[in-house]
């Protein structure tokens, strides 16, 4: 291209090169702006359209029948909490366990297989997880349930937690392990109370990211938790979830439900941004601790 041009014409080429340089810089800045505009637009619309419908009734009542004004998503908020509890109980221990295996024992062929499988699991479309859990649990139970929704989300948490745990454990210097062994501490105790503890900030970060990722998931809940217009606190009954309600309300023809969908979405995003922000704070502290 331009670098093989003879020096006699270098004045013109230099102009061309400067132009492409400016053009590329301009494009990169434009790209950054274009990417950030939807983000801002989404947040602005969420706040503008959502804030008006958030009131005490919205946070404490169950949905009114279609067409009636009023009601809320209280059962959805509680349902999401319930499902996420089940998901965390399943996803966090299995994820951390697999992460420990990969970091402390998995430096071999079998570890590579697990590592690859975790990546595969991470890439499985959430709707496919939904189908699997449906045919594993819902078909057998013969009805939709909060538990099956939690299992679906828990499965989706495992790979994220596992990879985060593995990476964080690998960053713990070997000296610390050696010191523990030198004091006669058994390996399991070293791993749990010393290695994992040293890496805890990073591991918590991974768990929170996984949590934030599944908190807004809707697709796998469609035919596991299913949704519910009423209160439900039982694990083996169909349960409302915030994300499901936002979906149902958004595609409904009722104007009042549209407003409530925005409000529900705002609550959902606050939950998730809260988790991500907490991650930032924890990581910042973790860095200080590590330094």
Partner 1 sequence: MSDSVDPMNTPEPIEPLPKPVTSIPSLGKVEAPRSAPKSTVLQKIRQSHPSSSRIPDEIFRWIILLSAVSVFAIVVLVVWKLVDKSRLSLHQFGIHFFYGHDWDPVNDSYGAMPFIYGTLVSSFLALLLAVPLSVGVAVYITEMCPQGLRAIISFLVELLAAIPSVIYGLWGIFVLAPLLRDYVQPFLAKTLGWTGFFSGPMYGLGMLAAGIILAIMIVPVIASITREVMSAVPQNQREAVLALGATRWEMIRMGVLRNARIGIVGGVILGLGRALGETMAVTMVIGNRPEVAKSLFAPGYTMASVIANEFSEATGDMYLSALVEIGLALFIVTLIVNALARLLVWSITGGTARPSV
Looking only at residues 127 through 156 of this chain, which bind partner 1 when binding is defined by CB under 8 A?
A: 127-132, 134-136, 155
* Closer CB to partner 1, 3 or 56, in the complex: 3
257 binds partner 1 (CB under 8 A): no
CB of 27 to partner 1, least distance (A): 6
**Using CA atoms, how far apart are residues 154 and 281, in angstroms rounded to an integer?**
24
Taking the CB of residue 31, how many other CB atoms lie within 10 A of it? 10
- Scan residues 94-133 and list those touching partner 1 (CB under 8 A): 94, 96-98, 100-108, 111, 113-132
* Per-residue contact string for residues 188-217; x = within reach of partner 1 by CB under 8 A: x--x-------------xx--x--xx-xxx
**Using CA atoms, how far apart are residues 125 and 156, in angstroms rounded to an integer?**
10
87 binds partner 1 (CB under 8 A): no
Give the pair of three-digit tokens for residue 96.
């951390």
* 3 contact partners, CB below 8 Å, separation of at least 6: none
- Scan residues 26-65 and list those touching partner 1 (CB under 8 A): 27-32, 34-36, 38-39, 41-42, 45-46, 49
Angle at 77 between CA 266 and CA 83, to 5 degrees: 120
Residues 47, 74, 167, 236: which binds partner 1 (CB under 8 A)? 167
CB of 57 to partner 1, least distance (A): 21
* Closer CB to partner 1, 56 or 242, in the complex: 242
CB of 237 to partner 1, least distance (A): 16
Residues 178, 193, 230, 231: which binds partner 1 (CB under 8 A)? 178
| Residue position matching structure tokens 């492409």 | 20
Closest by CA to 231, choosing from 104, 99, 82, 56, is: 82
Phi, psi (rounded to 5 degrees) for 71: 85, 175
**Using CA atoms, how far apart are residues 127 and 220, in angstroms rounded to an integer?**
5
Residues 72, 159, 204, 239: which binds partner 1 (CB under 8 A)? 159
* Closer CB to partner 1, 28 or 59, in the complex: 28
**Using CA atoms, how far apart are residues 210 and 221, in angstroms rounded to an integer?**
16
Taking the CB of residue 69, how many other CB atoms lie within 10 A of it? 11
* Closer CB to partner 1, 86 or 102, in the complex: 102
* Binding segment (CB under 8 A) for partner 1, from list 51-59, 66-74, 78-86, 218-226: 218-226
Residues 15, 51, 69, 251: which binds partner 1 (CB under 8 A)? 251
184 binds partner 1 (CB under 8 A): yes
Give the pair of three-digit tokens for residue 253.
């023809």
* Closer CB to partner 1, 72 or 154, in the complex: 154
Angle at 224 between CA 222 and CA 227, to 5 degrees: 60
3-state SS, residue 71: strand
């Amino acid at each position: 291209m331009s670098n093989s041009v003879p020096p006699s014409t270098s004045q013109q080429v230099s102009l061309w090169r400067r132009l492409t340089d400016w053009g590329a810089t301009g494009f990169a800045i434009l790209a950054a702006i274009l990417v950030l505009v939807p983000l801002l637009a989404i947040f602005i619309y969420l706040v503008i359209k959502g804030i008006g419908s958030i009131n005490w009734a919205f946070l404490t009542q169950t949905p009114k029948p279609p067409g009636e004004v009023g009601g809320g998503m209280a059962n959805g908020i509680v349902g999401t909490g319930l499902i996420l509890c089940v998901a965390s109980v399943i996803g966090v221990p299995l994820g951390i366990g697999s992460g420990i295996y990969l970091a402390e024992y998995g430096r071999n062929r079998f570890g590579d297989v697990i590592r690859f499988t975790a990546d595969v699991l991470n890439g499985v479309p959430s709707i496919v997880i939904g189908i699997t859990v449906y045919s594993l649990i819902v078909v057998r139970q013969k009805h939709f349930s909060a538990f099956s929704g939690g299992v679906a989300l828990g499965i989706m948490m495992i790979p994220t937690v596992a990879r985060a745990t593995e990476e964080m454990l690998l960053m713990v210097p070997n000296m610390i392990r050696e010191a523990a062994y030198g004091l006669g501490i058994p390996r399991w105790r070293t791993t749990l109370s010393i290695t994992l503890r040293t890496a805890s900030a990073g591991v918590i970060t991974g768990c929170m990211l996984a949590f934030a990722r599944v908190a807004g998931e809707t697709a796998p809940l469609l035919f596991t938790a299913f949704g519910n217009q009423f209160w439900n606190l039982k694990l083996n009954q169909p349960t409302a979830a915030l994300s499901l309600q936002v979906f149902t309300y958004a595609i409904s023809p009722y104007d009042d439900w549209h407003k409530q969908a925005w409000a529900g979405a705002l609550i959902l995003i606050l939950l998730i941004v809260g988790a991500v922000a907490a991650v930032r704070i924890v990581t910042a502290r973790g860095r200080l601790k590590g330094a």
